[in-house]
Amino acid sequence: MKIALIGANGQLGSDLAKVLPAHGHDLVSLTHADVEVTDAASVAAMMGEHEPELVLNMAAFHKVDVCEEEVERTFAVNVYGVRNLALACRAHDAVLAHMSTDYVFGGDRARRTPYVETDTPAPINVYGVSKLAGEHLARYLLERYFIFRVTGLYGVAGSSGKGGNFVELMLRLARAGKDVRVVDDQRITPTYTVDLAHQIAAVVETEQYGLYHATSQGDCTWYEFAAEIFRQSGLNPNLGKAKTGDFGEKATRPAYSVLENRALQRIGMDKMRPWQEALGAYLEERG
């Protein structure tokens, strides 16, 4: 299958760029310099030049706090960019695979059980609203689409614009002898991008179109994640608990945004391993 991968140099995109050819696909790796998703003409030109059967969209504006102030830019990428891709895919009879987020949830403050794909979203920040709107456009405009909601991503390539990923930040602080304070009132599922890339590659080879939650198994707070990073790395920094409001962030974060991979389980394709095991694999890969 010929696949156009938009955002091939990002944290997840770089792993997909390795995994997809290994699955036998003809991959066209594209960056922001190659296609601008906010420009319908740029998207149309890309589709005309490469004629992909599947478009994998990793492009997103995901600086959650900046999104609160740059709403127009956020919607340009996360909403209208998806519209442009969906319309182009429809015109060229191609499938769209689009990435979404656990941040489409959060409005249910009392929630303490994992969200499934049929649960009603209730975002509580601009980023979450924009990603949910992008989902709606993809689902409205296309009959053949994949939407993957993910959470807590980390990979060897780091996260563009965020100075690496959470694991690297924790290791850097610990090795510098810094005191480390991490929030203990946000529960998520850390997800290794190599595992996710293999999961996505497996699903898009099918015709099981629709919405999927795709995360590692289990859950933890960011504090518990940090503690496990240090345990597996043999480090023992002064690790303390913090509350979400302690750091003055502009965007409200969900207290609980754990996702259950129910749709993957339903089709017998949940390949994601426990988050602790995946973390060990990441630490081994990075060396």
**Which active-site residues does the annotation give?**
127
Which is nearest to 257 in space by CA: 71, 124, 62? 124
DSSP tag of 210: E
Q: Tell me the chain's radius of gyration from C-alpha atoms.
A: 18
| Cα 122 to Cα 150: distance, rounded to the nearest angstrom | 16
CB 82 within 8 A of CB 32: no
- The string of DSSP codes covering 246-285 is GG--SS---SB--B--HHHHHTT---PPBHHHHHHHHHHH
Q: Tokens 């949940």, residue?
A: 270
| Cα 206 to Cα 165: distance, rounded to the nearest angstrom | 31
- The string of DSSP codes covering 137-205 is HHHHH-SSEEEEEE-SEE-TT-BTTTTB-HHHHHHHHHHTT--EEEESS-EE--EEHHHHHHHHHHHHT
CB 21 within 8 A of CB 43: no
- The string of DSSP codes covering 28-40 is EEE-TTT--TT-H
Q: Which residues pair with 3 in a beta bridge?
A: 27, 54
CB 270 within 8 A of CB 264: yes
Q: Apex CA 182: angle with CA 172 and CA 280, to 5°?
A: 55
